[in-house]
């Protein structure tokens, strides 16, 4: 057993004062975490002549933050369980713990802050020292405590800045997304359209639109871009601009889909994709032509208890440059017909038992409310899914778009 000196022949208070002044100066100068640990490193090595030590600090988990003079690379070693549950000094003479590689140390000193251990200092005491061991332990704890608290405060400040930045980004993305939605939907003697948008806490990429061609023809569409925040909002903004330009150019549905897919493919490199449904409704011909690009199939109700899913189309847009196929669907649409479009946030809404709302509830609710106005249909659907969720939050944005032909 190594014996520690019982007398102090030097004024270690001078070492303590010098180290504390250096640490205080570093904190006031807002030096990075690495610099603070470097000060601690030189305090142990140069000032106290300790030639073997390891410092474990608590971040999300215990990590080796500092090491010197050791045989093992402790950056790859987990803190032993018999150590991490200790809040008192551990002596390693005849150590019988779970990891014998820690037996090369003499002592482990826990460092606490607000009754919680924030760091462990493992060290081998010098063979020859002029500093009395019991006197230096409080000093080591003090220095380590100051450094750990400073580092923790820096991380908290950084997190606050990042949270504020994220908040600003979400506000910008929300503004961009909101401006994509049409400011007014038609309410005429032939047509009744209503939209409902339920934003999630984060900004998704939901988008819907109504584009009038003439008195009897108009496009309705709905889309959902993968991803969140500003990138999703910007992509959807560009998507809308391209779509409207193509419609003004008179391109047919198949060509619109192919061109949109190429643009998404060429302008994104991170696997981003868009699910999209577009329909051209002609009230004079009583016809609805559509293409579904991987979106939740909209439902059209024309009879008392009958509905049809609009599934024909192609794959999601973006992952590949050339779509393998594009099929255009066509269906008769008469007075009394109702077209219901929605994003996957509705079908994927879950209750507290993690059961999904699913398409069956959507279909049943549409049959019940088919005679109501478009706005009332949306309101009843929201009430139905809210009852199902029973307070469980949505996991994504929810968008509903209902078109009734009078």
For 5-39, write each residue's pLDDT tens digit: 434 444 556 666 666 666 666 666 666 777 777 87
269-311 pLDDT per residue, tens: 777 899 999 999 999 999 999 999 999 999 999 866 678 999 9
The span from the CA of 306 to the CA of 361, in Å, is 15
* Residue matched to tokens 């819907």: 208
Q: Which of 142, 202, 213 is nearest to 177 (CA)?
A: 202
| Sheet with 191-198: strands ordered across | 191-198, 398-405, 338-342, 299-301, 307-309
| CA–CA separation, 290 and 256 (whole Å) | 11
Domains of the chain: 12-158 (3.30.450.40), 181-405 (3.60.40.10)
Q: Which residue has the tokens 């997190």?
A: 159
Q: Give the single-character DSSP code of 94.
A: T
Label residue 253 by pLDDT band (50, 70, 90). very high
When pLDDT is averaged across residues 87-106 and rounded to a whole number, the result is: 73
Helix (H, G, I), strand (E, B) or coil at 316: coil
pLDDT score recorded for residue 307: 86
pTM of whole model > 0.75? no
Report the C-alpha gap between 391 and 164 in whole angstroms.
28
Contact 300, 337 (CB under 8 A): yes
Q: What is the per-residue pLDDT for 281?
A: 95
| Rama region for 288: left / alpha / beta (φ>0; ψ in -120 to 50; rest) | beta
The owner of tokens 């944005």 is: 397
Distance (Å, whole) CA 260 – CA 288: 21
- CB 203, CB 226: distance < 8 Å: no
Helix, strand or coil, per DSSP, at residue 344: helix
């Amino acid at each position: 057993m190594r014996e520690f000196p019982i007398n102090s022949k030097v004024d270690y208070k001078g070492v303590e004062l010098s180290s504390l002044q250096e640490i205080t100066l570093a904190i006031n100068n807002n030096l990075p975490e690495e610099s603070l640990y470097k000060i601690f490193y030189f305090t142990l090595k140069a000032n106290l002549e300790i030639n073997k030590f390891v410092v474990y600090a608590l971040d999300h988990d215990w990590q080796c933050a500092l090491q010197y003079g050791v045989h093992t690379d402790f950056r790859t070693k987990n803190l032993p369980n018999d150590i991490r549950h200790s809040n008192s000094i551990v002596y390693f003479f005849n150590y019988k713990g779970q990891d014998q590689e820690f037996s090369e140390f003499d002592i482990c000193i826990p460092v606490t802050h607000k009754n919680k251990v924030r760091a462990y200092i493992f060290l081998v005491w010098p063979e020859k020292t002029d500093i009395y061991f019991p006197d230096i332990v409080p000093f080591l704890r003090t220095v380590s405590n100051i450094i750990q608290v400073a580092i923790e405060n820096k991380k908290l400040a950084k997190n606050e800045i990042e949270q504020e930045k994220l908040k600003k980004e979400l506000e910008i993305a929300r503004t961009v997304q909101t401006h994509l939605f049409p400011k007014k939907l038609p309410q005429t003697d032939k047509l009744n359209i209503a939209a409902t948008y339920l934003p999630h806490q984060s900004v998704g990429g939901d988008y819907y639109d109504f584009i009038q061609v003439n008195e009897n023809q108009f496009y309705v569409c709905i889309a959902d871009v993968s991803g969140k925040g500003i990138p999703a909002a910007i992509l959807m903004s560009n998507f809308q601009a391209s779509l409207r330009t193509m419609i003004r150019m008179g391109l047919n549905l198949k060509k619109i889909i192919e061109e949109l897919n190429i643009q998404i493919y060429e302008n994104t490199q991170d696997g981003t994709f868009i699910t999209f449904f577009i329909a051209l409704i002609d009230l004079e011909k009583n016809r609805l032509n559509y293409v579904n690009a991987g979106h939740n199939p909209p439902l059209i109700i024309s009879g008392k208890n009958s509905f049809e899913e609009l599934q024909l189309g192609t794959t999601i847009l973006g992952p590949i440059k050339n779509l393998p196929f594009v099929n255009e669907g066509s269906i008769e649409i008469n007075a009394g017909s109702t077209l219901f479009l929605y994003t996957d946030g509705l079908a994927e809404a879950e209750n507290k038992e993690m059961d999904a709302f699913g398409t069956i509830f959507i279909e049943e609710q549409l049959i019940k409310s088919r005679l109501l106005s478009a706005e009332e249909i949306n309101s009843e659907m929201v009430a139905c899914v809210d009852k199902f969720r029973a307070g469980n939050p949505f996991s994504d944005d929810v968008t509903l778009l209902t078109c009734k032909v009078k």
